[in-house]
Chain A
Amino acid sequence: MIGVELVKMVRRPRTWLVIGMLVALPTLVAVLLAVTDIAPRPGSGIPFLSAVLSDGTLFPLAALGVVLPLFLPIAVAVLGGDAIAGETQAGTLRYLLVRPVGRTHLLLAKLVTVVAFVVLAVLVVAAVSYVEGRLLLGQSPTPGTVSLSGSTLTEQEIAGRTALALGYVVVSMLGVAAVALFFSTITSSSIGAALGTIGLLVTSTVLLGLDAAEALHPYLPTRYWLAFVDLFRDPILWRDVVRGLIVQLAYLFVFTSAAWASFSTKDIDD
């Protein structure tokens, strides 16, 4: 069933439209930087963006920083929200269940497919922005790149840490996927499920800016999303990365269980 769901995702024009949109924004940023040559102040705004003017090979990381706060979570919320609710709307859910496809099996296949989409999207964004970085922003004249701590990192180290960063971004989206999947099982509107998920993320972001909500901060899903930056310090600062992993896995577990509890005995009235 996982195979069938993956095929469905790949054959859906919307998947590629969304990936196209995810690629478009960093592309726009790269073009603007290359044309104007105006660098953002270091330490402010999008991570790594100040560094890319001297070394375009860092652009994949900047691109991730561009899409991570808004575009990527929205894409995941839309796809996740569509998982079960979309089948309900198309009238295909009852026929899948009567095939038969086990409800737990279906839910798992849908979750795996959403995660697979995140991996695909992240890889495509990274690959395209690497090429764009090289072409539009040039390469650093000296070998190796300067880490955030000031020391130099070799190309292999950068590649390795980039791979870790990509993995971390995928993990960061697990919570969103699980929440969207849960909402998808309790409503028959896929846009409703997506909006519910996005609402949760917006709430999380707003509360993060509020000192009065400080007690909640460690438990909010968006708290540690940008911690992949810490992977480029020398030595790697693991603290926030590990916390981020734990928070996402917790959300994944809680909301997937909730989705299963809701879906496995639900009356399918369509």
Chain B
Amino acid sequence: MSVVIATRGLTKRYGELRAVDRVDLEVGEGDVYGFLGANGSGKTTTVRMLLGLVLPTSGEAEVLGEPMPASRRTVLPRVGALVEGPGAYAHLSGRANLALLDASGADRSPRGTRRRRVAEVLAEVGLDPSDGRPTRAYSLGMRQRLGLAAALMRRPRLLVLDEPTNGLDPQGIQEIRALLLRLNAEGTTIFLSSHLLAEIEQMCTRVGVLDRGRLVLQDSLPRLLRPTGLVSVRTPDTVRCAELLGGMVEDLTDDRLLVRASDPASLNAHLVGHSVRVSEIGPYRRSLEQVVLEAGSLPPGPPPPREERPSGPTELSDLQSLRRVDS
């Protein structure tokens, strides 16, 4: 499986400020990569560097196997992007905007093919292909869909999307998610940056978390959210329960215990059998939000030396060894 995006030590400095600090991204072909980070964490700057809009201060970036921004001319025709919101000429219709954008590239389609493709891609994102109104009359959701349509025009191998469902109603969000998953099934790699953790959790296969310019976490999502082997028990009789279970208890808060056990059902029977009232019991799964917040609260430190970490920055296992597993 080839690597679609790879960066090594990618850095962008604005004077003293390190907006992007030695980031080592890795996105494989066919991934749906979720790029997470707070506002101001350097996400957008990283994306702009990948697209050749901003020159890195140091480090390297490779997209589709070729160095960027040097190979812009050969790489970018195969990349579709939606960066920090869509852009369109307000006095022209959606179709006209797409047609102009297509005609602007060296690999422009012949006019007939272009017209068909424009209609096709507008329908794909849920816009009316026969709509001739200027885009200044569009709602926020429609502008967003048009931006997506523009990214999809050339059937790109890689989609770089920044908040793709911004401004869409729940139905729209579902439609776009279905569209993106279908494209991914057909072979398109998707690099997605979003604030909506729920969305990332639903769609992505790999996740990278940026915090104050550092990539603090990069791992496959199933591995991050794998079962912990713990059972969460809520009981009014916490003290008795803790005494009963002894060393099996990994964590104890006011009304909830985390118990190392393989089967919640048999644990339940055991507790009830010893007159411990159980109000809630079930396997303990970490949410993405917990993982991200934990990763973000790590103090920024020097990255581990390259030789020890061939697979990239901090993996979940490192976090686990540094602190107890709790929320």
Q: Spell out A's residues near B (CB within 8 Å).
A: 1, 3-4, 7-8, 11-13, 90-102, 265, 267-270
> Roughly how many angstroms separate A218 CA and B72 CA in the complex, as a whole number?
44
Q: Which residue of B lies closest to A5 (CB)?
A: B104
Q: Which of A7, A8, A100, A265 is close to B76, meaning CB atoms less than 8 Å apart?
A: A100
Whether A91 contacts B76 by the Cβ 8 Å rule is no
> Roughly how many angstroms separate A102 CA and B103 CA in the complex, as a whole number?
14
Asked if B90 is at the interface of the complex by the 8 Å CB criterion, the answer is yes
Whether B76 contacts A90 by the Cβ 8 Å rule is no
Whether B88 contacts A265 by the Cβ 8 Å rule is no
Asked if B229 is at the interface of the complex by the 8 Å CB criterion, the answer is no
Whether B54 contacts A268 by the Cβ 8 Å rule is yes
Whether A102 contacts B104 by the Cβ 8 Å rule is no
Closest 5 pairs (CB-CB, A-B): A91-B87, A100-B76, A268-B53, A92-B87, A267-B54
Asked if B197 is at the interface of the complex by the 8 Å CB criterion, the answer is no
Whether A1 contacts B83 by the Cβ 8 Å rule is no
Q: Which of B53, B79, B91 is close to A267, meaning CB atoms less than 8 Å apart?
A: B53
Whether A91 contacts B53 by the Cβ 8 Å rule is no
Q: Cβ of B48: which chain A residues have Cβ within 8 Å of it? A: 94, 267-269
Whether A98 contacts B52 by the Cβ 8 Å rule is yes
Asked if B85 is at the interface of the complex by the 8 Å CB criterion, the answer is yes
Whether A90 contacts B100 by the Cβ 8 Å rule is no
> Roughly how many angstroms separate A10 CA and B104 CA in the complex, as a whole number?
16
Asked if B86 is at the interface of the complex by the 8 Å CB criterion, the answer is yes
Q: Cβ of A8: which chain B residues have Cβ within 8 Å of it? A: 89, 100
Q: Spell out B's residues near A (CB within 8 Å).
A: 48, 51-55, 72-73, 76-77, 79, 81, 83-92, 96, 100-101, 103-105, 150
Whether A92 contacts B88 by the Cβ 8 Å rule is yes
> Roughly how many angstroms separate A7 CA and B90 CA in the complex, as a whole number?
15
For the complex formed, measure the closest distance between the CB of B117 and the CB atoms of chain A, giving whole angstroms.
15
Q: Cβ of B55: which chain A residues have Cβ within 8 Å of it? A: 265, 267
For the complex formed, measure the closest distance between the CB of A54 and the CB atoms of chain B, giving whole angstroms.
45
A sample of 9 inter-chain contacts (CB < 8 A) reads A1-B104, A4-B100, A4-B103, A8-B89, A94-B48, A98-B83, A100-B76, A267-B54, A268-B48
Whether B100 contacts A99 by the Cβ 8 Å rule is no
The prevalent SS among residues of B at the interface is loop
> Roughly how many angstroms separate A162 CA and B289 CA in the complex, as a whole number?
74
Supposing A4-B103, A100-B72, A100-B76 touch, asked if A94 and B87 sit within 8 A by C-beta, the answer is yes
Whether B83 contacts A94 by the Cβ 8 Å rule is yes
Q: Cβ of A11: which chain B residues have Cβ within 8 Å of it? A: 91-92, 96
Q: Cβ of A96: which chain B residues have Cβ within 8 Å of it? A: 101, 104
Q: Which of A90, A98, A99, A265 is close to B90, meaning CB atoms less than 8 Å apart?
A: A90
For the complex formed, measure the closest distance between the CB of A234 and the CB atoms of chain B, giving whole angstroms.
49
Whether A92 contacts B84 by the Cβ 8 Å rule is no
> Roughly how many angstroms separate A95 CA and B76 CA in the complex, as a whole number?
11
Most chain-B CB neighbours within 10 Å: which of A7, A8, A93, A95?
A95
Whether A91 contacts B86 by the Cβ 8 Å rule is yes
Q: Which residue of B lies closest to A106 (CB)?
A: B104
Q: Cβ of B89: which chain A residues have Cβ within 8 Å of it? A: 8, 90, 92
Q: Which of B77, B84, B88, B105 is close to A90, meaning CB atoms less than 8 Å apart?
A: B88
Q: Cβ of A100: which chain B residues have Cβ within 8 Å of it? A: 52, 72-73, 76-77, 105
Q: Which residue of A lies closest to B97 (CB)?
A: A92
> Roughly how many angstroms separate A55 CA and B76 CA in the complex, as a whole number?
60
For the complex formed, measure the closest distance between the CB of A185 and the CB atoms of chain B, giving whole angstroms.
15
Q: Which residue of A lies closest to B153 (CB)?
A: A99
> Roughly how many angstroms separate A211 CA and B242 CA in the complex, as a whole number?
97
> Roughly how many angstroms separate A270 CA and B48 CA in the complex, as a whole number?
10
Q: Cβ of A12: which chain B residues have Cβ within 8 Å of it? A: 91
Q: Which residue of B lies closest to A88 (CB)?
A: B87
> Roughly how many angstroms separate A268 CA and B104 CA in the complex, as a whole number?
18
Whether B53 contacts A94 by the Cβ 8 Å rule is yes
Whether B104 contacts A270 by the Cβ 8 Å rule is no
Whether A101 contacts B87 by the Cβ 8 Å rule is no
Whether A91 contacts B85 by the Cβ 8 Å rule is yes
For the complex formed, measure the closest distance between the CB of A152 and the CB atoms of chain B, giving whole angstroms.
50
> Roughly how many angstroms separate A97 CA and B54 CA in the complex, as a whole number?
11
> Roughly how many angstroms separate A265 CA and B84 CA in the complex, as a whole number?
21
> Roughly how many angstroms separate A252 CA and B185 CA in the complex, as a whole number?
52
Q: Cβ of B150: which chain A residues have Cβ within 8 Å of it? A: 95
For the complex formed, measure the closest distance between the CB of B124 and the CB atoms of chain A, giving whole angstroms.
18
Whether B54 contacts A95 by the Cβ 8 Å rule is no
Q: Which residue of B lies closest to A93 (CB)?
A: B87
For the complex formed, measure the closest distance between the CB of A138 and the CB atoms of chain B, giving whole angstroms.
41
Most chain-A CB neighbours within 10 Å: which of B79, B86, B87, B90?
B87
> Roughly how many angstroms separate A31 CA and B53 CA in the complex, as a whole number?
53
Q: Cβ of A90: which chain B residues have Cβ within 8 Å of it? A: 87-90
For the complex formed, measure the closest distance between the CB of A195 and the CB atoms of chain B, giving whole angstroms.
22
Q: A12-B91, A97-B53, A267-B54 are in contact. List 18 more A-B contacts (CB 8 A).
A: A8-B100, A13-B91, A91-B85, A92-B89, A93-B87, A94-B53, A94-B83, A95-B81, A95-B87, A95-B150, A98-B76, A98-B83, A99-B76, A100-B76, A101-B104, A101-B105, A265-B55, A270-B84
Q: Which residue of B lies closest to A97 (CB)?
A: B53
> Roughly how many angstroms separate A101 CA and B104 CA in the complex, as a whole number?
7
Supposing A102-B73, A267-B55, A269-B48 touch, asked if A95 and B101 sit within 8 A by C-beta, the answer is yes
For the complex formed, measure the closest distance between the CB of B43 and the CB atoms of chain A, giving whole angstroms.
13
Most chain-B CB neighbours within 10 Å: which of A92, A265, A269, A270?
A92
> Roughly how many angstroms separate A189 CA and B270 CA in the complex, as a whole number?
72
